[in-house]
Amino acid sequence: MPETASSAAQHAPVVQVRDMDFCYGSKAALHSIHLDVEYHRVTALIGPSGCGKSTLLRCINRMNDRVAGARVSKGEILVKGKNIHDADVDLTQLRRQVGMVFQKSNPFPKTIYENVAYGLRVHGVKDKTTLDEAVERSLTQAALWDELKDRLQAHALGLSGGQQQRLCIARAIATMPDVLLMDEPCSALDPIATLKIEELIAQLARNYSVVIVTHNMQQAVRVSDFTAFLHLGKLVEFAPTEELFTNPREKLTDSYLRGTFS
Amino acid sequence: MPPASPTTPGPFGSKLLRKSSRSMLGMDPQKIIKTFFGANSGITIVVLVLIMVFLLREGAGFLSTYHHELEVYRKAGLEFCDIADTPLKQQQQLTSALRRAKASAASDEAKRALGDAEEAFETAIEPADEIVSELKTHATETKELANEFHTLEVGRLQLLAAAYSTSDPTRKADLLKEAELSKVDAPNYEERIAAVIDRREELAKALTDYTTVLGTAAVALPDAVADVKTAVPAHIAEVHAAVKKLETWSWQEPVSFFTAARSFFFGTGWITNSSWQDFYGVVPLLTGSLLISLVALLIATPISVSAAIYTNQFASDQEKEIIKPVIEFIQAIPSVVLGFIGIAVVGDLIKGVSQWEILSWIPGFPIQERLNIFNAGFLLAFMAVPTMFSLAEDALNNVPRAYSEASDALGATKLQTVFRVIVPAAISGILAAILLGLGRVIGETMVVLLVAGNRIAIPDFGDGLGVIFQPAHTLTGIIAQELGEVSRGSSHWQALFMVGILLFVISLSVNWCARTIAKRFEHPKA
Ligand SMILES: Nc1ncnc2c1ncn2[C@@H]1O[C@H](COP(=O)(O)OP(=O)(O)OP(=O)(O)O)[C@@H](O)[C@H]1O
Ligand SMILES: [Mg+2]
């Protein structure tokens, strides 16, 4: 995609994690993480279970604020150059900038339309045409519009698992975030639904900067431009995906990729 | 985890099982333990069925007994008298209105005019009144004969039954002789009712004459009693209607079981121990119960639901630790103690407050009765709050965390998340909680018995919302109050069981609705 590549070049990284330590109460979960999320690119986070991928992801939109005692104990995170822990940062605004899709699809028990419109509604948008347009745009970008345009008033929980997950993506992008965080978005889906989402992620990268956590190496190879390998709360290696998978610099990365991990 | 193999129990199990296997005559001990637990849950079901069977058995005889009583009511002519009596009762109301106006009249002249009118009213009705009271005496006599016959007949049938079931021939002969002796003729309704029918025309004429006199007397009424003046034409129409009814009335018209059932379910009077005629109409009790429950629900719902939302979503852990036990503690208050409070505190409080000048705009204020529907509803609300609170809180708790997480991630504020996502997602559970609270309130007895005022009459809805400050009686209260005093097996006794059945059915359906609602909108398993 030449046009995105050229525009990306003009942009500084949307998310900059600067030497960050993070802990749950007294338990340290991340150590000195240093990571840049490039503009309109897909960044994958991989690593063994419990290494802190989700934690890192949830730092970016401060979802960890929900956990009592969880805090960033060192370093900082900048989103579009702004420290997200600054006192004047509005959490509502931050989450409008940084959308999130969860491992298990979690549409609200409302209609399809209301699900997609929810983000705008909570930000005070009342105008019907604005909402209609946003719903259509988001569903189109999530490759759902053709399937669902005739049943926008149907209940969201009546959709298939894959459709529900794409609906959650549509819901997350309705507010036009700069960054889209995805935590193992395909882990509960069958291969065909997974494929659809992967295609979708490639499309989304035109308009959004995506950070995706995945356990599936092939998926990381297929969808991402950059890959970060985490181990025991440390960022072991961060490189362009091709480079990391074909020619890892660290021994740890190599053994993880080979599956000869102890 | 593989299921524990039954043949290789652990050390503890083996000890237990060996011990029991010896005492259980070689039966499979696992089976016995399973049967024991199964049986316990079975017992609850059996008890429920037994309760239903018992209620139905006691109540089942009601319709036929009541049917018989209503039949006698018609055949003996009591119904006839009651039709004729309705205008007479109205007439009494009119005259007493006149009398009151006379007492408060300013001038002697007005007093005299009203006195004359009153006298005219009284003399006009006298002939009809006389006829009706004679007929009433006659009808009562017939009814007594019928009752006597019924009692003897029942006794005789018992003797006969005993006779046919005994194997001792001499005893059998004795019993049969005794039965023969106690045999009496059924009252001859036709002969007795003739005395009533004979006077029908006379009565109709007396009533019609009365309306003519009344019509002229009303014209002369002073304007001071405008309400009486306007009531007269309606009254006259009623009298004419009654006369028509009397003319078409027939003692032979059969009374159907349907009539008996209708008289129970839609009857507006619950009249017992009357020397004239007992009626078991459940409507006054039902309205009382429903009004009280409604008041309780209207008070308890906002309190418990908002408390549940606050506790579940906003309260800190320390606050939760206080709120929950305190609300649950309410449940531990014996209802009779709440009844005390209703009588001693709430009643006086409501009455006192209702006398405040600034509150006089509230319908029904100032109130007359300390013990009334509102008072009972208020206390019942108190009793319903713990149930509704805990269930509503559970419902909120069952909302998958994923919903609030998604809402948070979209930048919603806490309030938005709570009211746009969590409460709507829990709404079915909250509705179920409210319904189960209603079930609790409808079945509650002690408080209503002590506090509702126990007036058996349909509350006067003409008062608008003020109706809730009137006393009432309830389905539960009437059973508690009367069951101890009626003779077993009498129609009154059976009627109370019917009330019990009705109550049971109401509670069951409320519970069923709650369950259906809760099921209908279950959350996907998170
Ligand atoms: N809410 C929490 N409170 C305390 N510790 C937590 C919490 N969430 C995660 N942790 C701990 O933080 C560490 C990192 O967890 P995290 O969920 O980020 O791992 P992950 O890489 O996403 O794993 P997985 O691949 O299994 O999802 C783990 O050791 C975990 O036990
Ligand atoms: Mg994770």
B131-154: per-residue pLDDT in tens? 888 888 888 888 888 888 888 888
Q: Mean pLDDT, chain B, as a whole number?
A: 85
Contact A108 B407 (CB under 8 A): yes
Q: How confident is the model at residue B6 (pLDDT cuts 50, 70, 90)?
A: very low
B405 CA from centroid of ligand 2 (Å): 15
Say whether both B221 and B305 belong to one domain: no
Looking at residue B522, its pLDDT comes to: 65
Domain span at residue B492 reads: 283-520
* CB proximity list for A104: less than 8 A, separation 6 or greater: A188, B402, B526
Say whether both B255 and B287 belong to one domain: no
A96 CA from centroid of ligand 1 (Å): 25
- B339: domain CATH number? 1.10.3720.10
Q: Which atom of ligand 1 is nearest to the CA of A58?
A: 18
- Is B215 contained in some domain? yes
The H-assigned helical ranges of chain A are 2-10, 53-60, 91-97, 112-122, 128-141, 145-148, 161-173, 191-204, 217-223, 241-246, 251-258
**In the predicted structure, residue B509 carries a pLDDT above the cut 70:** yes
- Torsion angle, CA of B129/B266/B272/B459, rounded to 10 degrees? -80
What is the value of pTM for the model shown? Answer: 0.82
- The count of other CB atoms within 10 Å of the CB of residue A16 is 18
Contact A96 B416 (CB under 8 A): no
d(CA A95, CA A89): 11
Q: Which two three-digit tokens encode residue B277?
A: 């005629």
For chain A, which ranges sit under pLDDT 50?
Answer: 1-6, 8
Say whether both B406 and B461 belong to one domain: yes
Looking at residue B257, its pLDDT comes to: 86
Is B263 within 8 Å of B66 (Cβ atoms)? yes
Looking at residue B467, its pLDDT comes to: 86
Pick B274 or B318 by higher pLDDT.
B318
Say whether both B352 and B445 belong to one domain: yes
Say whether both B411 and B456 belong to one domain: yes
Q: A109 at the B interface (CB within 8 A)?
A: yes
Say whether both B394 and B497 belong to one domain: yes
Q: Which atom of ligand 1 is nearest to the CA of A184?
A: 27
| C-alpha triplet B183, B188, B192: angle, nearest 5° | 140
| From B406, B421, B524, residue closest to A102, measured CB to CB | B406
Is B285 within 8 Å of B474 (Cβ atoms)? yes
Pick B394 or B215 by higher pLDDT.
B394
Q: What is the pLDDT of residues B148-171, one digit of tens each?
A: 888 888 888 888 888 888 888 888
Torsional sign, CA A240, A241, A244, A246:
negative
ipTM of the complex: 0.90
- Is B28 contained in some domain? no
**In the predicted structure, residue B312 carries a pLDDT above the cut 90:** yes
Say whether both B69 and B100 belong to one domain: yes
Of the candidates A219, A108, A127, which has an alpha carbon nearest to the alpha carbon of residue A170? A108
* CB proximity list for A123: less than 8 A, separation 6 or greater: A92, A96, A175, B411
> In total, how many domains does chain B have?
2
Q: Give residue B522's region: left, alpha or beta (phi > 0; psi -120 to 50).
A: beta
Q: Which residues surround ligand 2, an ion (CB under 5 A)?
A: A 54
Looking at residue A56, its pLDDT comes to: 94
- The count of other CB atoms within 10 Å of the CB of residue B275 is 6
Q: Which two three-digit tokens encode residue B125?
A: 């009705």
Of the candidates B418, B421, B524, B405, which has an alpha carbon nearest to the alpha carbon of residue A181? B405
Q: Give residue A81's region: left, alpha or beta (phi > 0; psi -120 to 50).
A: left
Q: CB of A102 closer than 6 A to ligand 1?
A: no
d(CA B289, CA B440): 12
Mutating to test ligand 1, I would choose from A54, A229, A256 the residue with most ligand atoms within 8 A of its C-beta, which is: A54
**In the predicted structure, residue B436 carries a pLDDT above the cut 60:** yes
d(CA B215, CA B209): 10
Residue for token digits 């956990």? A67
Say whether both B342 and B457 belong to one domain: yes
Question: What does R_g of chain B's alpha carbons equal in angstroms?
Answer: 33
Q: Whose CA is nearest to atom 26 of ligand 1?
A: A49
Is A77 within 8 Å of A15 (Cβ atoms)? yes
Say whether both B513 and B398 belong to one domain: yes
* CB proximity list for B364: less than 8 A, separation 6 or greater: B354, B463, B464, B465, B466, B467, B468, B469, B470
Say whether both B432 and B338 belong to one domain: yes
Q: What is the pLDDT of residues B54-113, one digit of tens each?
A: 888 888 888 888 888 888 888 888 888 888 888 888 888 888 888 888 887 777 877 887
Say whether both B168 and B313 belong to one domain: no
Which of B266, B298, B321 is the C-terminal boundary of a domain? Answer: B266
- Is B8 contained in some domain? no
